[in-house]
Amino acid sequence: MTSDGTIARLVSELLKELGEDAKREGLERTPDRVEKALRYLTSGYDKDPREVLNDALFVEEYDEMVVVKDIDVFSLCEHHLLPFIGKCHVAYMPRRKIVGLSKIPRLVDMYARRLQVQERLTTQVAGTLNDVLQPRGVAVVIEAIHLCMLMRGVEKQNSKAVTSAMLGAFRDRPETRAEFMDLIKAGRGLQI
């Protein structure tokens, strides 16, 4: 999407409605900055999840669990347009197809860069990997703090939301699910 200045004009109006002078020194460039930030933070709408993954799909005879954990997540809550921030952990059990490891965080970012709720973000990542890879199972867990809870409303500073989506073997086999949960709880053994 290209900028036509509409968002900046609306932000200027919003500042006036809040009782601010949008022309004062500290705010004169704020509408343009907010437009640029919002366009970046919602840039996931312009991407197709299959295109994010398809150029890195490979046939491989690997059938053990693949886990990518501690993926940073930054998104905007669709209810208040305030950030939620956390970690995403993804696993899948291949059935002949694997995906390049860097594509999993890119998929998470693509969906996170939309107005979101954590529950939908979790299921979108799991559903897309399940559809594209057709693995024996997919698991996604997201742990996040929501600024709408920390800064307003209940103002609970230590609250964290945890959501999960378990498909295939992760849903049907408690031992597979437990292995995944143990792996994502494990301490960081690799420091680079």
Q: How far apart are CA 143 and CA 74, in angstroms?
A: 11
Catalytic residue among 35, 77, 88, 124: 77
Catalytic residue among 13, 79, 119, 134: 79
Q: State yes or no: is 146 an active-site residue.
A: yes
Residue 92 · residue 135 · CB < 8 Å: yes
Residue among 36, 110, 37, 42 at smallest CA distance from 73: 110
Q: State yes or no: is 118 an active-site residue.
A: yes
Residue 90 · residue 69 · CB < 8 Å: yes
Catalytic residue among 20, 80, 143, 179: 80
Catalytic residue among 88, 89, 116, 146: 146
Q: State yes or no: is 78 an active-site residue.
A: yes
Neighbours of 189 (CB within 10 A): 5
Catalytic residue among 88, 89, 118, 124: 118
Q: State yes or no: is 89 an active-site residue.
A: no
Catalytic residue among 60, 78, 119, 134: 78
Residues serving a catalytic function are 77-80, 118, 146, 148
